[in-house]
Amino acid sequence: RTVLGIETSCDETAAAVVVDGRSALSNIVASQMTLHQAYGGVVPEIASRQHLDAIADVVARAVEPLDDGFRGLDGIAVTYGPGLVGALLVGLSYAKALALTLGVPFVGVHHIEGHMFSTTFEYGAWDYPALALIVSGGHTDLFHIAAPFAYERIGHTRDDAAGEAYDKTARRLGLGYPGGPILDRLARAGQPDHAPLVYRPPLIPDAPYDFSFSGLKTAVLRYIREHQVAPLPEGIHPEDISAQAPDSIRNLAASFQRAVVNTLVGVLERAIDAYHPRLVVTGGGVVCNTGLRQALADLAHRKGIEIRVPHPKYTTDNAAMIAAAGYARLARGERHDWSLEPAPSLRLGQVPAEHSRHFR
Ligand code: ATP
Ligand code: MG
Ligand code: FE
């Protein structure tokens, strides 16, 4: 069973062909990042237009490995939320038109469910009960999954997503956008103890699996002010930034990264102790982070539990993960009809009663 996945929820136009939900024949990602870099974040109007410009070519490249081209497809899966409405609309409309033309089933996928499936290429199906930790530019969510597709969101961030905290901190330090990769690189060359932050991972009353990063943001700002850490001047080429950054910025990056990682891993450990999962899956762009990957490996070892971390190329937005999730849904007979609309704030999973009053 060969499924085409399409993803246009934010700033990458992506398409991929996946066989039996496991092997990716292609994984094409056209990033608009450089276009948005000048603005320090994603500009919705620019994103939509750029998707429209790129989609036909990206999809054509994704089906190239198939002998029969489009005729070799058995189904189409597309992200229909959450995300930017104009951006989602491009991928969704294209997927519908293609499915209608080819006469193949079509299914919409939740973007975060896609991130959860990003480990299947290397590791295959999950064991249950499972926990899923998704850490990206827009989300920091923890799910308990008792059985296939039974997603229960037990925790989420109260303020910034972890990736967002990276991006904002990087901007503060003049490091450009996106901030995650560059701060990660600087952190590896820094000494966290040389830039101690006044910060403890928050424990939110009645919401033990929620996250918060605004306190960390404040701690970093205070540190910058008190120690007069000067941001890098503008105009340094992105590739030269890590060579040119002074020790003060490297140390601060290392300290910030340690705090983010401790927050994430602390909450996950608490949830492992409470839910006794057989498996933990992770996904989202921040799971690229070398410090987080190391800490997750340590936690897995300490707890004697399997924690699956996707290959870096599947952590940030891609369509292979959407095809894998879509395959699983198509295989159990799910279909959407042509009335499916983009759902910018689509939610995945019910909230357990004891957490429902915290739900925004
Ligand atoms: P969402 O999935 O919530 O809609 P998104 O699609 O924008 O958000 P992803 O593409 O999954 O998010 O991830 C992008 C984020 O990951 C950015 O915030 C980026 O800074 C962060 N990121 C990427 N690499 C790293 C890294 N090595 N360390 C930390 N953060 C990283
Ligand atoms: Mg993105
Ligand atoms: Fe994403």
Q: Quick one: average pLDDT of 204-211? A: 93
pLDDT score, position 355: 39
Question: Ligand 1 pocket, 284 CB below 6 A?
Answer: yes
Reply yes or no on whether the pLDDT at 356 is more than 80: no
As given in the structure block, the two tokens for residue 158 are 């109260």
CB 88 within 8 A of CB 81: yes
Shortest-distance Cα residue to atom 30 of ligand 1: 180
pLDDT score, position 349: 76
Question: Ligand 1 pocket, 138 CB below 6 A?
Answer: yes
Residue by residue, DSSP assigns 214-240 as: HHHHHHHHHHHHHTTPPPPPTT--GGG
Binding residues for substrate, as ranges, are: 134-138, 167, 180, 184, 289
As given in the structure block, the two tokens for residue 356 are 């429902």
Full-model pTM: 0.94
Structure-token match 């973007």, residue found: 111
Which pLDDT tens digit goes with each residue over 100-146?
A: 999 999 999 999 999 999 999 999 999 999 999 999 999 999 999 99
Q: What distance in angstroms lies between residue 65's CA and the mean position of ligand 2's atoms?
A: 25
Shortest-distance Cα residue to atom 2 of ligand 1: 136
pLDDT score, position 358: 34
- Place 351 in a pLDDT band, splitting at 50, 70 and 90: low
Q: How far apart are CA 352 and CA 103, in angstroms?
A: 39
Reply yes or no on whether the pLDDT at 188 is more than 50: yes
Q: What angle do CA 142, 147, 150 make, to 5 degrees?
A: 55
- Place 305 in a pLDDT band, splitting at 50, 70 and 90: very high
- Place 357 in a pLDDT band, splitting at 50, 70 and 90: very low
The set of long-range contacts for 36-42, using a CB threshold of 8 Å and a minimum separation of 24, is 36/11, 36/177, 37/176, 37/177, 40/171, 40/177, 41/167, 41/177, 42/10, 42/11, 42/84
- Place 360 in a pLDDT band, splitting at 50, 70 and 90: very low
Shortest-distance Cα residue to atom 7 of ligand 1: 137
Q: Quick one: average pLDDT of 197-220? A: 92
pLDDT score, position 354: 45
